[in-house]
A and B are shown apart, each in its own frame.
Chain A
Amino acid sequence: MKLGFRIALRFLKSNKGQTLLIILGIAIGVSVQIFIGSLIQGLQKGLIDKTIGTSSQITISSQDGNLNTKDYEEFIEVIRKEDREMEAISVALDNAALMDYKENSQSLLVRGFELNVADGIYDIFDRIVEGTYPKNDNEIILGIDLKEEYDMALQEEVTINTAEQKVHSFKVVGFFDFKVSSLNTGWGITTLQTAQNIFATGDVISSIELQLKEDSVFLADEIAENIKKDINREDIKIVNWKEQNESLLSGLQGQSISSYMIQVFVMISVVLGIASVLAITVIQKSKQIGILKAMGIRNVSSSYIFLFEGLILGFFGAILGIVLGLGLSFAFTKFALNPDGTPVIDLYINYSFIMISGIIALLASAFAAMIPAAKSSRLNPIDIIRNN
């Protein structure tokens, strides 16, 4: 084995140009794979982040109206017992209302949150682009789109008309920007306390909202199912983001499959490349193999030479490929920019994916070396010795 490695190394060194060329070939394959993989993963993560990153991923509500304290505290207890830890568990009381501002009237979904907790899902504090968040009774924050449409200012008064024809005066303490115009025009956010007061509901909520930890986002359906089983009540409705975004999911899946296809074909071309070059090497080196066999090297050892050549080429090809791939990816995020200076696509640099790409290249190289290795094992020394 050691001798095989030694000879392999020497063969590769004695033909530097060819060696570098194969290493470069493998490296380009690996770097394309890493780049495309990072691109697609970044694209998907970006899409998912935009779609569900700041929204409820599992929502628990009652079929008929609101949930009272006793129920929802019990449910939250159940949720906390789930195997999967939650990123955030928040409660909300939502009611439709009509908002009047000067002579304008606007329908509004008034959402009552415990803001500290709801921030875990909606990033509310970061989304406030002007002013502050509602702390006291009858304070509200509105979307930036409403501000622009009606030319509103901080600390102005708006009135909220509930479905029960009650009128409440609110102070606008801030404006938020969720980057989604339906939310920026349709939501008004206040404290849970205030919402419970003005809608005279008492101590109830309309839904429990959950955000999952990043690595279990795609298990939302399973987790929802578990929660449903544990709560075990007919009147409780649980929806998860996956059932609400089926077309997005199938789009992502299609993208993943095409990305795998590209990666598989890149690998196949790398394998074919190495195999054909190594096959030529066996012919180039057949004289040496013949001499070694005449001196008594065993067939297995002579085939190790080419296996090691494959492994060495694969190893350096993979390392160079990773360096190139990362370089290409960073260059892409540095130079392909939107007008505002943010990258067009945030690549997702997933180190375990990169490691796996490298290891696959290494294994593929070893695999590609099998054919030449077998060829060298079959080579008969007399053919070399006789034919000078």
Chain B
Amino acid sequence: MSKILELRNVNKIYGTEIKNQVLYDINLSFEEGSFNSIIGQSGSGKSTLLNIIGTLDKATSGDVYIEGRDIKKMSINQLADYRNKTIGFVFQFHYLLPEFTALENVLMPYRIQNGKVSKEIVRKAEEIMNLVGLEKVKNNMATKMSGGQQQRTAIARALINNPRIILADEPTGNLDSDSTETIYELLRNINEEYKTTFLIITHDRRIAEKADRIVEIKDGKINLDIKK
């Protein structure tokens, strides 16, 4: 299997005067189609790492390669397109667009890519939403849903463009253990069916243990890296 993601000597320092180093010389690579979990204490640097991989944030030093390409060499538009097509994000604070319905939110990455939506893609969006249990609320405004429903909408949105990589920051943080289980099964199925690579930050030990690999971050360094 090939490496779809690779980090070489990645450092992240916040602040210019009072320097706050959050990541120290991270060297990591992820196989295509693997299902990885990232764990660590609050404040250890997990979200920072994920945002750097997702090209939202920039490493202070070091290199990030995605599908073998150095992201430093990519233009702003290339990065935007890469975020749209190759990556599906599920953010820690789910972040839906409050002016749009759940279904419209799910379709948004597709619209960004194609301008307009076809009947087939709407059907696909509805299927994904059914899978995550949102059939009843798909036409609700994003704000008129529970926290868990919003989170599931964000997961459906990350899946709509069939990305090769899914970066999820505590995607089941707001869900009860049964729903967590269902969502996890769903993600695992997608991983197996489409060979989508998953990087999932989680506090949930049970989820972490079901992954192919567990990476533990501690104080900005890799403390543990267990592959099954």
Binding site for B on A (CB under 8 A): 1-3, 6-7, 10-11, 13-14, 287-288, 290-299, 301, 381-382, 384-386, 388
The A-contacting residues of B in range 17-59, CB under 8 angstroms, are: 47, 51, 54, 56-57
Besides A294-B83, A297-B80, A298-B76, 10 new A-B residue pairs in contact (Cβ under 8 A), listed by A number: A7-B99, A295-B84, A296-B80, A296-B82, A297-B112, A298-B77, A384-B95, A386-B47, A386-B51, A388-B92
List, in ascending order, chain B residues with CB within 8 A of A291's CB: 95-97
Smallest beta-carbon distance A92→chain B, Å: 73
Q: Contact size class for B?
A: 20 to 34
List, in ascending order, chain B residues with CB within 8 A of A2's CB: 115-116
List, in ascending order, chain B residues with CB within 8 A of A3's CB: 111-112, 115
List, in ascending order, chain A residues with CB within 8 A of B112's CB: 3, 292, 295-297, 301
List, in ascending order, chain B residues with CB within 8 A of A11's CB: 99
List, in ascending order, chain A residues with CB within 8 A of B89's CB: 294-295
A293→B80 contact, CB < 8 A: yes
Would you mind naming 9 contact pairs between A and B with Cβ atoms under 8 Å apart?
Answer: A1-B115, A3-B111, A10-B100, A13-B99, A287-B95, A288-B97, A296-B113, A298-B77, A299-B76
Q: Which partner residue on chain B sits nearest A384 by CB separation?
A: B95
Smallest beta-carbon distance A11→chain B, Å: 6
Give Cα A386–Cα B96 distance, bound, in whole angstroms: 15
Smallest beta-carbon distance A19→chain B, Å: 12
Binding site for A on B (CB under 8 A): 47, 51, 54, 56-57, 76-77, 80-85, 89, 91-93, 95-100, 108-109, 111-113, 115-116, 157
List, in ascending order, chain A residues with CB within 8 A of B51's CB: 382, 385-386
Given A2-B116, A386-B51, decide whether A14 and B80 contact each other with a Cβ distance below 8 A.
no
Give Cα A292–Cα B82 distance, bound, in whole angstroms: 13
A388→B56 contact, CB < 8 A: no
B77→A292 contact, CB < 8 A: no
Given A3-B115, A299-B76, A382-B57, decide whether A294 and B97 contact each other with a Cβ distance below 8 A.
no
For A10, give its contact among B80, B82, B95, B99 (CB under 8 Å). Answer: B99
Given A288-B99, A291-B95, A292-B108, decide whether A381 and B85 contact each other with a Cβ distance below 8 A.
no
